[in-house]
Chains A and B, each alone.
Chain A
Amino acid sequence: MSTTNHYNENVLEKLASEPNNLWKRILIFLIILGLVIWGNTGSNFTGITEKGMNVAKAILNGITHPETLLLFNFTSKGIPMLLLETISIAFLGTLIGAILAIPFAFLSATNIVPKWVSIIFRSITMLIRTIPALVWALIWIRVTGPGPFCGVVTQSIASIGMVSKMYITAIENLDTGVLEALDACGCNLFEKIRVGIIPQLSASFISTAIYRFDINLKDATILGIVGAGGIGFPLTDAIANARWNRVGAFVIVLVLLVIVIEWISTKIRARLAHGRS
């Protein structure tokens, strides 16, 4: 009669022995629902006002009708120069950060230094990570003054945390058998580093740096909000002055830039991971 007859006895037995998670699932669902309701208590949603509607329309209109003149303006206020500045900030910031992270990573790797040294350096990188990039920019601005240089220094420091964390993983996965073999061949320390360690680490180090460049490029676009150079300041300035066509041009260029760079970086990283093709 029933459809269950079609199944094998063993299958039914197996099904019956599976734990029933229904109550657990309902509980988890209720907890999440409760958190969302609690989270909404402070929210100030009062519906979209007439003014808000108009602003939304203006934004959409601006984004669909970008100011094309800005794209071909090669002065320092035009998009090409701002893009160059933004990319330069991310590039230099990533490069310096990736180099600064190397000593941190080696001094935090448990297979290189004693445990207490690694704990000290791990805590330092953690403290660096805790301060958001924007706050780093606010601090560095007191040192360098506003401008793209501030952005470079900010990103150099802000990159250290994540980059050294990924370096550490690579270092701790080092194959020490290679070093022993080189020892047995009678290689000195320099030769061991040159042919035993660098080839093992370079691919993952470069891959990490390129990945971080992706992130830094996105960050570089917002650092301008506090005056650290790049496309962020003209963008927020245009938003604040409701020049939506200009905002549209900035947003479209920004989206294209990020997508293109992400695509290139994924390609390069895939190539690094699978060897030269």
Chain B
Amino acid sequence: MAKNKVEKVPLFDRIFKPEVITLENGHSVARPKSRVPLILAILFVAILIAARATGFDFNILFNRINQLTVILGKIFNPNWSFFPKVLPPLIGTIKMSIVGTVVGCVVALPVSIFASSNINKNKPTLLIIRFIISVVRSLPAIVYAYFFVLVFGLGTFAGSLAIAFFTFGIVAKMLYENIETIDMGPYEAMTSFGANTLESFWTACLPQILPQFFDNCLYCFELNVRNSSILGYVGAGGLGLLINERVGLRQYNDVGMILLTIFVVVMTIDLVNDYIRSKII
């Protein structure tokens, strides 16, 4: 028994003995030593290593910071006449995001049902499905886009597919976390009536998760419009190609116009999403 108790004391408290305070009534309490100095020391060492690994240098920053102000000055002074050239790739980006988001979300819904521990009681399949979702989520969309461009050729199809993969990863994770928090009472009531898993899920669980699901999809759509602007960088259509080209030519006023358009579009989508959210939740 006594041995068990000793083992429960964390290593830190065994090295740095807690301060024992004796109260007036004779009881004594132990106050563990603060862990802050240790954490700060580890942090300090980590900063040193990281600074060496990345070649961190304040001098460069101070000497050349005026470059940044020049570029930002141009970006915040957008070239309005460039707008007609922004429009077609912008629409391409939005189309790509819509198709990618819808496909990703539709695939994510059934998969996430099998990835939630309160519906799927079979541990091995649960872990396998979750692992697949994790793997899909851990690769950035632009890497998918690069692969798909090579397989399907340049253009928005590769971009849509990349966005679909990315969306699937995010939405499936958020959704199975949501499913695990729902009220299982109605589900059990349905099964006690003799309904099978699918029927009970359809009538008892789906109404509980659908608002969350649509909320996640909308959030993801906004994220995708923002992110898909960079997919063109590897040739997957949309605005990225244009940004790359204009930065290469140092036409920062044009870049400013592109960014302004993205900003307006994202803001509009945000407003529309808020409106839809207020309707469904």
CA distance A135 to B233 in the complex (A): 11
Contact residue among B57, B72, B75, B227 (Cβ-Cβ distance under 8 Å from A132): B227
Residues of the A chain whose Cβ atoms lie less than 8 Å from the Cβ of B152: 45, 48, 52
| Chain A: interface size category | 35 or more
Interface residues as binary, B197-233 with A (CB distance below 8 Å gives 1, 0 otherwise): 0000000000000000000000000000011011001
| Chain B: interface size category | 35 or more
Does B107 touch A at the CB level, under 8 Å?
no
Does B266 touch A at the CB level, under 8 Å?
yes
Interface of B is mostly: helix
Does B269 touch A at the CB level, under 8 Å?
no
CB of B156 within 8 A of CB of A144, answer no
Q: Tell me the minimal C-beta distance from B51 to chain A in angstroms.
A: 7
Residues of the B chain whose Cβ atoms lie less than 8 Å from the Cβ of A153: 61
CB of A222 within 8 A of CB of B157, answer no
CB of A132 within 8 A of CB of B226, answer yes
Give residues 125-162 of B contacting A (CB, 8 Å): 134-135, 137-140, 142-143, 146-147, 150-157, 160
CA distance A53 to B50 in the complex (A): 42
CB of A259 within 8 A of CB of B135, answer yes
Q: Which of A8-16, A87-95, A102-110 makes up part of the contact surface?
A: A87-95
CA distance A147 to B53 in the complex (A): 11
Chain A minimum-CB-distance residue to B160: A43
Contact residue among A135, A148, A226 (Cβ-Cβ distance under 8 Å from B54): A148
CB of B54 within 8 A of CB of A39, answer no
Contact residue among A91, A221, A235, A259 (Cβ-Cβ distance under 8 Å from B46): A91
Contact residue among A149, A219, A226 (Cβ-Cβ distance under 8 Å from B55): A149
Give residues 212-257 of B contacting A (CB, 8 Å): 226-227, 229-230, 233-234, 243-244, 247, 255
Does B190 touch A at the CB level, under 8 Å?
no
CB of A143 within 8 A of CB of B102, answer no
Residues of the A chain whose Cβ atoms lie less than 8 Å from the Cβ of B57: 149
CA distance A174 to B94 in the complex (A): 39
Residues of the A chain whose Cβ atoms lie less than 8 Å from the Cβ of B80: none
- Given the contacts A44-B157, A130-B259, A221-B140, A92 and B99 also touching, CB distance less than 8 Å: no
Chain B minimum-CB-distance residue to A145: B60
Q: Tell me the minimal C-beta distance from A38 to chain B in angstroms.
A: 7
CA distance A219 to B229 in the complex (A): 15
Q: Which of A53, A132, A218, A255: most chain B Cβ within 10 A?
A: A132
- Given the contacts A85-B53, A143-B60, A251-B143, A135 and B259 also touching, CB distance less than 8 Å: yes
Residues of the A chain whose Cβ atoms lie less than 8 Å from the Cβ of B142: 222, 225
CB of A135 within 8 A of CB of B68, answer no
Does A151 touch B at the CB level, under 8 Å?
yes
CB of B95 within 8 A of CB of A130, answer no
Does B111 touch A at the CB level, under 8 Å?
no
Q: Which of B53, B54, B229, B255: most chain A Cβ within 10 A?
A: B54
Taking A84-B49, A132-B230, A138-B243 as given, write out 6 further A-B residue pairs in contact, using a Cβ cutoff of 8 Å, ordered by the A residue number: A40-B95, A52-B150, A84-B53, A85-B53, A143-B67, A235-B143
Interface residues of A (CB under 8 A from B): 32, 35-36, 38-46, 48-49, 52-53, 55-56, 59, 84-85, 87-89, 91-92, 95, 127, 130-132, 134-135, 138-140, 142-145, 147-149, 151-153, 218-219, 221-222, 225-226, 229, 235-236, 239, 251, 254-255, 258-259, 262
Can you give 6 A-B contacts (C-beta < 8 A)?
A39-B96, A43-B160, A49-B153, A92-B50, A147-B55, A148-B55
The 8 closest A-B pairs by CB, nearest first: A88-B50, A258-B138, A44-B155, A148-B54, A39-B95, A88-B53, A39-B98, A39-B99
